[in-house]
Structure 1
Amino acid sequence: MPDIHVIHENEAWIVPLRAAFARIGVPFREWFVDRGVLDLRAPPPEGVFYNRMSASSHTRGHRFAAEHTGAILAWLHRHGRTVVNGPRALALEISKVAQYEALAAFGIATPDTLAVVGREHIAAAADRLGFPLILKHNRGGKGLGVRLFLSAAALAEHLASDAFEQPIDGITLVQRYIAAPEPFITRVEFVGGRFLYAVRVDTSEGFELCPADQCAAGEVCPAEAKGPKFRIVEGFTHPLVPRWEAFLAANDIGVAGIEFITDRDGRAWTYDVNTNTNYNPEAEAAAGVSGMEAIARHLAGLAAAERRRAA
């Protein structure tokens, strides 16, 4: 029986991880989480568990996949299983408010944000914050609900229209727009809690920044765009890397992509933590690196350590 179990709810996003395990010759078991029965009377199987549950799982018809995963992680935790991206990681994956508060504990700046429950309160929150601003979903992923507004009139028109998207958890974030001197953000990837590489992402075509080689049918995904939409930055360094690593360690996050933007004054603002990170295959091929292989090797190392302890 494989020693590695991968918890997920998206077939497309698991394909490159399968290939990575095949390249290194390590077996693993997939645990597709949507519906089912969790028998709390029985112990979990032995091994290492990797949680790849996504904040956007509800957009693929898996409305309670994250909640189901939360129950599984609590069960695994009680039985002392080794879990990469455990309960705390899941809590941050599905709440940007939780992310921002956790980042603040490490002195990591996030954009000014108001969390709003109730569509009727968004305009007043926007007036308090000022324009330009961004609306986004607290539980998002893939840029869900992210829209830029330059004026109160534009926001009012949007709120009165069918284009307004109600967040799955009811929380809309009203967030200060960070103006960058160039239209790009940087996504910093971590595996095993350590810096792996950084990728520059062109945002000139919008905010849906899914880097996966496949996205769900019907979605607009920049990973399918031609040209250097995603480019791995050679020799990347940043003074926030040690703080990001400390933040990940303190919040039970082994694998993540952290996104930040730099304003015209050179200040970095961290605005998203993706604990279900994906990688752009074209950018990786050009740079000669593989995030999924790094994950596979990390999990294989943890599983080998478990076997040694059990021997």
Structure 2
Amino acid sequence: MGKIYVIHENEEWTEHLFNRLEELELPYEDWLLTRGTVDLTSVPPEGIFYNRMSASSHTRGNRFAPELTSAVLAWLEQHGRVVINGSRALELELSKVKQYIELEKFGVKTPKTIAAVGKEELLKAAASFEGKQFITKHNRAGKGLGVQLFQSVEALQKYVESDAFEEPVDGITLIQEYIESPASYITRCEFVGGKFVYAVRVDTSEGFELCPADACTIDDLFCPVGEESEEPAKFQIREGFDHPILQKYENVLAANDIKIAGIEFIEDANGTLYTYDINTNTNYNSEAEAASDTKYGMLEVAKFLGKELEKVEGIVSSN
């Protein structure tokens, strides 16, 4: 009998998924790819393979986990295995440039963005934003890596020439127009099986690091999802959310063979939506889900994986 193989590099982020798989009595195996080998002469086991590799793996000391995962996915796909969020999903996970190009292809508006390699080129690119606020961010990121807000090119130059400057892991820094939300929040739309599940309102008043995972409460001061407070929760389900953008998002995911994802947008004072992130390693916040009667993200993922495994098992048994 086949299994559900979960490919990842962060054990804190898989705990809830494994609990749900056990709850549904689904067979699974943990493939932690922080290091390892790929024997190209071997044949992969039967089952389905769920890729949860993260663009921010290098921040946890797993610099080459995405490269190892890319090799593993190529091997699996060569042998015709069913891979959930395969090579194309990983490609987009590791590049915001490719995300924006793909979003625009399907009529999804993204913020004006310039990609730059080199400090001089970065400053030259920022000159085109003169007179406007802009932000920097890393092309290969996650958890708001490298996100800084600037009021002028001079302010950027001071940052770039200082010891505080964060060099992107792939060398590409993005200069992007700053979209201000009047209410200081962004919306994250969650998809499972390529279909919309629910939307989450994320408070951005305390900073740019927007990881929704419960694990963030351990070591991320800008992601206080577990703190008791009289203030509104940082992550809240947007009950009944519906918008034409959702169909466009589903079209983007379908065209890129992405089954599980979180897509984030911000709305400006004029009501214009700007989409700025596709996260193919999406996590869910248990407090936000507990405060709502909506579906539970990891449970939906586990159910989806179970159905996909049933399909594969059906094909194998018929042969």
Give me the TM-score of the superposition, normalised by structure 2.
Answer: 0.95
Task: Name the counterpart of 2:189.
Answer: 188
Tell me if structure 2 keeps the 8 A contact 1:261–1:268: yes
Aligned twin of 1:21? 21
The answer (yes or no) to whether the contact 2:217–2:225 under 8 Å persists in 1 is no
- Asked if the contact 1:60–1:216 (Cα under 8 Å) also holds between the matched residues in 2, the reply is no
Deviation at 1:218, TM superposition (A): 3.9
Q: Secondary structure at the match of 1:38?
A: coil
**Residue number in structure 2 paired with 1:280:** 285
After TM superposition, the structure 1 stretch with the greater mean CA deviation from structure 2, 194-203 or 120-129, is 120-129
**Which amino acid in structure 1 is aligned with residue 210 of structure 2?**
L
| 1:229-244 matched pairs, under 5 angstroms | 229-244=234-249
Deviation of 1:2 after TM superposition, in Å, equals 4.9
* Structure 1, gaps ≥5 residues long: none
- Encode CA deviations 1:10-56: one digit per residue, 9 max, x unaligned: 01001111111122121211100021110000111111000000000
Aligned mates of 2:26, 2:226 — CA distance in 1: 29
Q: 2:129, 2:224 → 1: CA distance?
A: 30
Distance 2:224 2:7 in 1: 25
Return 55-64 or 219-228, whichever deviates more. 219-228
Contact 1:12 1:215 in 2 (8 A): no
- Asked if structure 1 preserves the Cα contact closer than 8 Å seen for 2:217 and 2:226, the reply is no
1:178/1:261 contact within 8 Å kept: yes
CA distance in 2, matches of 1:81, 1:2: 11
- Contact 2:225 2:233 survives alignment (8 Å): no
Matches within 5 A, 1:1-311: 2-130=2-130, 131-215=132-216, 218-220=219-221, 221-226=223-228, 227-288=232-293, 289-311=295-317
Aligned-pair CA distance for 1:180:
1.6
The CA distance in 1 between the partners of 2:236 and 2:2, in whole Å, is 35
- Is the partner of 1:224 in helix, strand or coil? coil
Displacement of 1:252: 1.3
In structure 2, runs of 5+ residues without a counterpart are: none
Identity %: 56
Alignment partners' CA distance in 1, 2:279 and 2:180: 22
Instruction: Report the secondary structure of 1:292's partner residue.
Output: helix
Contact map agreement 2:8 2:53 (CA 8 A) in 1: yes
When structure 1 is superposed on structure 2, of 285-294 and 253-262 the one drifting more is 285-294
d(CA) in 2 for partners of 1:118, 1:153: 17
* One-letter amino acid of the structure 2 residue matched with residue 291 of structure 1: G
Greater mean alpha carbon deviation, residues 239-248 or residues 18-27: 18-27
- Aligned equivalents of 1:166, 1:222: Cα separation in 2: 26
1:103-139 CA-to-partner distances (Å, cap 9, x unmatched) read 1110111000000001222121111123200100000
The TM-score with structure 1 as length reference comes to 0.97
Query: Does 218-227 or 104-113 show the bigger shift?
Result: 218-227
